């Protein structure tokens, strides 16, 4: 029996799931690249990133090179939560197949 409480509601939202997926592929994503890859508005992306940051899943790095650059990366906690989320989805699929 799948414990549906294991499905992390913070990650489960469509926009945040997409963000977590991209963050899982690289060590670091600049804001503009995330925005371009996800085709999200600035406001929407910032809101989702803030939620993930508050949950401790995403770390923010702000630096000034030739211009200000904000980058995001997945924390260890975020990686564990994302892994657990995928494992739960896989369990649901397996159970559905009988």
Partner 1 sequence: MNRSAAEENLRVIRELMERATIYRAVSAPAALFCGLSALLVSGLALIPGPFQTLLQRNFALVWVVVCLLSVTANIFFLVRATELRQERFASYRLRTALLAIAPAFIVAIALTFFLTRAAGTELFIAVCWMALYGLALLSTMTFAPRSIVVLGWAFILTSVLILCVMTPVLVLAVSDRPNLAMEQVGYYAMAGSFGLYHTIYGVIVLFSARQDEHG
Among 42, 80, 83, 93, binds partner 1 (CB under 8 A): 93
Kindly determine how many residues on this chain lie close enough to bind partner 1 according to the rule CB under 8 A: 24
Report if residue 96 touches partner 1, rule: CB under 8 A. Answer: yes
Please state, in angstroms and as integers, the Cα–Cα distance from residue 95 to each residue in 31, 34, 76, 85, 90, following that order.
38, 34, 29, 16, 9
Torsion of CA 63, 65, 66, 71, to 10 degrees: -50
Contacts of residue 38, Cβ cutoff 8 Å, sequence gap at least 6: 15, 18, 19, 22, 45
String marking each residue 33-72 x if it binds partner 1 according to CB under 8 A: x--xx-----------------------------------
Which residues contact partner 1 (rule: CB under 8 A)? 4, 7, 14, 17-18, 21-22, 24-28, 32-33, 36-37, 86, 89-90, 92-93, 95-97
């Amino acid at each position: 029996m799948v414990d549906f409480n294991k499905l992390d509601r913070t990650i489960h939202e469509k926009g945040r799931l997409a963000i977590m997926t991209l963050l899982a592929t690289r060590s670091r994503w600049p804001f503009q690249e995330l925005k371009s890859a996800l085709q999200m508005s600035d406001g929407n992306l910032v809101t989702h990133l803030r939620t993930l940051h508050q949950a401790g899943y995403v770390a923010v790095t702000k630096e000034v090179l030739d211009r200000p650059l904000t980058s995001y990366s997945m924390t260890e906690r975020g990686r564990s939560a994302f892994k657990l989320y995928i494992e739960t989805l896989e369990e649901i699929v397996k159970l559905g197949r009988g």
